[in-house]
Amino acid sequence: MEDCLFCKIANKEIDSDIVFESDNVLIFKDKSPKAPVHLLAIPKEHIKSVLKISKLDGSIVKELMEAIGKMALEFELNKEGFRIVTNTGRGAGQSVNHLHFHILGKRKFNWPPG
């Protein structure tokens, strides 16, 4: 995907503050954090959203989720709780059309979300 911001981050064409990397998964700090800890977890392979997740190898989805759990522990989000968010579609606030999971922690989260 030529013009995809997160593909460029995955390919290291654009710098990011990477906290986890494997062959298939990248986790980096959000450049405009909405919580004291705000990470973004992506598959390196371009897919647009959860609606296209069947295009991904199932083992990549597992790897992505395991990496999210690993980072939650590494950033010590497990004690107070944390939130994983995937905005999907414009109405829900998705601004980058490459599947990503926000990992937010170290503050209080309201329910239901806004």
Residue 49 interacts with ligand 5GP (CB under 6 A): yes or no: no
Could you tell me which stretch among 55-63, 75-83, 85-93, 98-106 binds Zn ion (CB under 5 A)? 98-106
Least separation, in Å, of the C-beta of 40 and ligand 5GP?
6
Question: According to DSSP H, which parts of the chain are helical?
Answer: 5-10, 58-74
For 27, the 3-state DSSP assignment is: strand
CA torsion 4→8→11→12, rounded to 10°?
Answer: -170
Q: Is 100 labeled as catalytic in the residue annotation? A: yes
Decide the pairing of beta strands 37-43 and 25-29.
antiparallel
Could you tell me which stretch among 19-27, 54-62, 73-81, 93-101 binds ligand 5GP (CB under 6 A)? 93-101
By C-beta, is 31 or 58 nearer to ligand 5GP? 31
Residue 1 interacts with ligand 5GP (CB under 6 A): yes or no: no
Residue 96 interacts with Zn ion (CB under 5 A): yes or no: no
By C-beta, is 46 or 79 nearer to ligand 5GP? 46
Closest CA to 22 of 68, 54, 56: 68
Interaction residues for ligand 5GP, span 68-87 (CB under 6 A): 87
Closest CA to 43 of 30, 25, 57: 25
CB-CB contact of 107 with 35 (8 Å): yes
By C-beta, is 29 or 46 nearer to Zn ion? 46
Active site residues: 100
